[in-house]
Amino acid sequence: MRQYTGLDKLIHSFDQALRSLVPGSTSAQRENPGNQSEAQLAVSEARHVAGLMRVNHSGEVCAQALYHGQALTAKLPNVRKEMEQAAIEEQDHLAWCEDRLKELDSVPSLLNPVWYSLSFGMGAIAGIAGDKYSLGFVAETERQVSMHLQHHISQLPEQDERSRKILMQMNEDELHHRDTALNAGGIDLPLPVRITMTAISKLMTKTSYYV
Protein backbone atom coordinates (compact mmCIF):
# COMPACT_ATOMS: atom_id res chain seq x y z
CA MET A 1 0.00 0.00 0.00
CA ARG A 2 1.40 3.39 -1.00
CA GLN A 3 2.66 5.68 1.75
CA TYR A 4 1.71 9.29 1.05
CA THR A 5 4.23 12.03 1.74
CA GLY A 6 3.40 15.37 3.30
CA LEU A 7 3.47 16.94 -0.17
CA ASP A 8 1.04 14.30 -1.46
CA LYS A 9 -1.38 15.12 1.36
CA LEU A 10 -1.02 18.85 0.72
CA ILE A 11 -1.83 18.42 -2.97
CA HIS A 12 -4.79 16.20 -2.11
CA SER A 13 -6.11 18.79 0.36
CA PHE A 14 -5.78 21.54 -2.26
CA ASP A 15 -7.67 19.39 -4.78
CA GLN A 16 -10.44 18.77 -2.24
CA ALA A 17 -10.72 22.49 -1.56
CA LEU A 18 -11.05 23.31 -5.26
CA ARG A 19 -13.71 20.66 -5.75
CA SER A 20 -15.68 22.10 -2.83
CA LEU A 21 -15.37 25.74 -3.87
CA VAL A 22 -15.56 25.74 -7.68
CA PRO A 23 -19.22 25.56 -8.84
CA GLY A 24 -19.96 22.59 -11.06
CA SER A 25 -16.92 20.55 -10.00
CA THR A 26 -18.89 18.28 -7.64
CA SER A 27 -21.38 15.69 -8.88
CA ALA A 28 -24.05 14.00 -6.78
CA GLN A 29 -23.98 10.23 -6.48
CA ARG A 30 -27.66 10.09 -5.55
CA GLU A 31 -30.61 11.41 -7.52
CA ASN A 32 -31.70 14.90 -6.57
CA PRO A 33 -34.69 14.48 -4.23
CA GLY A 34 -36.12 17.76 -5.52
CA ASN A 35 -37.01 16.38 -8.95
CA GLN A 36 -40.61 17.54 -8.67
CA SER A 37 -42.10 19.87 -11.24
CA GLU A 38 -41.12 23.48 -10.66
CA ALA A 39 -43.74 25.59 -8.85
CA GLN A 40 -44.38 29.18 -9.79
CA LEU A 41 -42.72 31.53 -7.30
CA ALA A 42 -43.16 35.26 -6.99
CA VAL A 43 -39.99 37.32 -7.47
CA SER A 44 -39.72 38.03 -3.74
CA GLU A 45 -40.28 34.34 -2.91
CA ALA A 46 -37.63 33.19 -5.38
CA ARG A 47 -35.17 35.72 -3.96
CA HIS A 48 -35.83 34.50 -0.42
CA VAL A 49 -35.49 30.82 -1.37
CA ALA A 50 -32.23 31.61 -3.18
CA GLY A 51 -30.90 33.25 -0.03
CA LEU A 52 -31.82 30.20 2.04
CA MET A 53 -30.25 27.81 -0.46
CA ARG A 54 -27.11 29.96 -0.60
CA VAL A 55 -26.81 29.66 3.18
CA ASN A 56 -27.29 25.90 3.00
CA HIS A 57 -24.74 25.63 0.20
CA SER A 58 -22.21 27.52 2.35
CA GLY A 59 -23.04 25.16 5.19
CA GLU A 60 -22.17 22.21 2.98
CA VAL A 61 -18.90 23.88 1.96
CA CYS A 62 -18.14 24.16 5.69
CA ALA A 63 -19.05 20.50 6.19
CA GLN A 64 -16.68 19.45 3.41
CA ALA A 65 -13.88 21.49 4.95
CA LEU A 66 -14.61 20.14 8.41
CA TYR A 67 -14.43 16.52 7.28
CA HIS A 68 -11.36 17.14 5.12
CA GLY A 69 -9.53 18.75 8.03
CA GLN A 70 -10.47 15.98 10.43
CA ALA A 71 -9.56 13.21 8.01
CA LEU A 72 -6.13 14.80 7.64
CA THR A 73 -5.39 14.70 11.37
CA ALA A 74 -7.53 11.82 12.71
CA LYS A 75 -5.43 9.29 14.56
CA LEU A 76 -7.45 6.10 14.18
CA PRO A 77 -7.85 4.66 10.65
CA ASN A 78 -11.52 3.78 11.22
CA VAL A 79 -12.30 7.36 12.31
CA ARG A 80 -10.44 8.74 9.29
CA LYS A 81 -12.52 6.45 7.08
CA GLU A 82 -15.73 7.68 8.74
CA MET A 83 -14.73 11.29 8.03
CA GLU A 84 -13.94 10.55 4.40
CA GLN A 85 -17.22 8.68 3.87
CA ALA A 86 -19.24 11.47 5.47
CA ALA A 87 -17.53 14.01 3.18
CA ILE A 88 -18.55 11.95 0.15
CA GLU A 89 -22.18 11.88 1.28
CA GLU A 90 -22.11 15.63 1.92
CA GLN A 91 -21.02 16.15 -1.70
CA ASP A 92 -24.56 15.23 -2.74
CA HIS A 93 -25.87 18.12 -0.64
CA LEU A 94 -23.38 20.48 -2.22
CA ALA A 95 -24.45 19.49 -5.74
CA TRP A 96 -28.17 19.63 -4.92
CA CYS A 97 -27.88 23.14 -3.49
CA GLU A 98 -25.88 24.27 -6.54
CA ASP A 99 -28.56 22.87 -8.85
CA ARG A 100 -31.31 24.70 -6.99
CA LEU A 101 -29.38 27.97 -7.01
CA LYS A 102 -28.98 27.71 -10.79
CA GLU A 103 -32.69 27.08 -11.19
CA LEU A 104 -33.35 30.24 -9.18
CA ASP A 105 -30.88 32.24 -11.32
CA SER A 106 -28.61 32.73 -8.34
CA VAL A 107 -25.04 31.86 -7.34
CA PRO A 108 -23.16 30.49 -4.31
CA SER A 109 -21.78 32.84 -1.67
CA LEU A 110 -18.64 34.78 -2.55
CA LEU A 111 -17.49 34.20 1.03
CA ASN A 112 -17.23 30.41 0.67
CA PRO A 113 -13.38 30.42 0.58
CA VAL A 114 -13.42 32.15 3.97
CA TRP A 115 -15.86 29.64 5.46
CA TYR A 116 -13.90 26.72 4.00
CA SER A 117 -10.62 27.94 5.50
CA LEU A 118 -12.12 28.50 8.95
CA SER A 119 -13.88 25.13 8.96
CA PHE A 120 -10.84 23.24 7.69
CA GLY A 121 -8.75 24.71 10.48
CA MET A 122 -11.35 23.88 13.12
CA GLY A 123 -11.66 20.32 11.80
CA ALA A 124 -7.89 19.82 11.80
CA ILE A 125 -7.61 21.11 15.38
CA ALA A 126 -10.44 18.80 16.47
CA GLY A 127 -8.63 15.85 14.89
CA ILE A 128 -5.40 16.75 16.67
CA ALA A 129 -7.26 17.02 20.00
CA GLY A 130 -8.25 13.36 19.74
CA ASP A 131 -10.76 11.19 17.96
CA LYS A 132 -13.43 11.38 20.67
CA TYR A 133 -13.34 15.19 20.43
CA SER A 134 -13.24 15.01 16.64
CA LEU A 135 -16.35 12.84 16.59
CA GLY A 136 -18.00 15.07 19.18
CA PHE A 137 -17.26 18.04 16.95
CA VAL A 138 -19.00 16.28 14.06
CA ALA A 139 -22.03 15.47 16.21
CA GLU A 140 -22.37 19.07 17.43
CA THR A 141 -21.89 20.45 13.91
CA GLU A 142 -24.56 18.17 12.48
CA ARG A 143 -26.93 19.04 15.33
CA GLN A 144 -26.60 22.74 14.57
CA VAL A 145 -26.92 22.18 10.81
CA SER A 146 -30.11 20.19 11.39
CA MET A 147 -31.57 23.06 13.42
CA HIS A 148 -30.82 25.50 10.58
CA LEU A 149 -32.35 23.16 8.01
CA GLN A 150 -35.55 22.71 9.99
CA HIS A 151 -35.83 26.47 10.40
CA HIS A 152 -35.32 26.99 6.65
CA ILE A 153 -37.89 24.32 5.77
CA SER A 154 -40.45 26.22 7.82
CA GLN A 155 -39.66 29.43 5.86
CA LEU A 156 -40.13 27.98 2.37
CA PRO A 157 -43.16 29.03 0.32
CA GLU A 158 -45.86 26.39 0.62
CA GLN A 159 -45.75 25.54 -3.09
CA ASP A 160 -41.95 25.08 -3.24
CA GLU A 161 -41.85 21.31 -2.89
CA ARG A 162 -38.65 21.19 -4.93
CA SER A 163 -36.58 23.00 -2.28
CA ARG A 164 -38.45 21.34 0.58
CA LYS A 165 -37.60 17.81 -0.60
CA ILE A 166 -33.93 18.72 -0.94
CA LEU A 167 -33.71 20.21 2.55
CA MET A 168 -35.66 17.35 4.13
CA GLN A 169 -33.27 14.76 2.68
CA MET A 170 -30.30 16.84 3.76
CA ASN A 171 -31.70 17.02 7.29
CA GLU A 172 -32.19 13.26 7.39
CA ASP A 173 -28.57 12.72 6.32
CA GLU A 174 -27.22 15.23 8.86
CA LEU A 175 -29.05 13.51 11.72
CA HIS A 176 -27.65 10.17 10.54
CA HIS A 177 -24.11 11.60 10.56
CA ARG A 178 -24.69 12.98 14.06
CA ASP A 179 -25.87 9.61 15.38
CA THR A 180 -22.99 7.80 13.65
CA ALA A 181 -20.45 10.12 15.27
CA LEU A 182 -21.98 9.66 18.73
CA ASN A 183 -22.17 5.88 18.37
CA ALA A 184 -18.51 5.82 17.29
CA GLY A 185 -17.45 7.42 20.58
CA GLY A 186 -18.04 11.15 20.16
CA ILE A 187 -18.39 13.13 23.37
CA ASP A 188 -20.18 16.36 24.28
CA LEU A 189 -17.95 19.34 23.65
CA PRO A 190 -17.19 21.92 26.37
CA LEU A 191 -19.72 24.76 26.54
CA PRO A 192 -17.27 27.49 25.35
CA VAL A 193 -16.57 25.46 22.20
CA ARG A 194 -20.27 25.00 21.48
CA ILE A 195 -20.90 28.72 21.99
CA THR A 196 -18.06 29.61 19.60
CA MET A 197 -19.40 27.21 16.97
CA THR A 198 -22.87 28.75 17.29
CA ALA A 199 -21.48 32.29 16.92
CA ILE A 200 -19.54 31.39 13.75
CA SER A 201 -22.59 29.59 12.38
CA LYS A 202 -24.78 32.66 12.92
CA LEU A 203 -22.22 34.89 11.23
CA MET A 204 -22.09 32.58 8.22
CA THR A 205 -25.88 32.38 8.05
CA LYS A 206 -26.45 36.13 8.16
CA THR A 207 -23.78 37.02 5.60
CA SER A 208 -24.18 34.17 3.10
CA TYR A 209 -27.89 34.93 2.72
CA TYR A 210 -26.95 38.19 0.98
CA VAL A 211 -23.40 37.72 -0.34
- Mark the binding-site residues for Fe cation, compressed into ranges: 60, 90, 93, 142, 174, 177
DSSP 4: P
CA 29, 74, 174, 11: dihedral to nearest 10 degrees? -40
Work out the angle between the directed axes of helices 43-73 and 112-129 (0-180°, nearest 10): 30
Rounded CA gap, 49 and 42, in Å? 10
Rounded CA gap, 51 and 96, in Å? 15
Distances, alpha carbon 29 to alpha carbons 17, 33, 78, in Å: 19, 12, 23
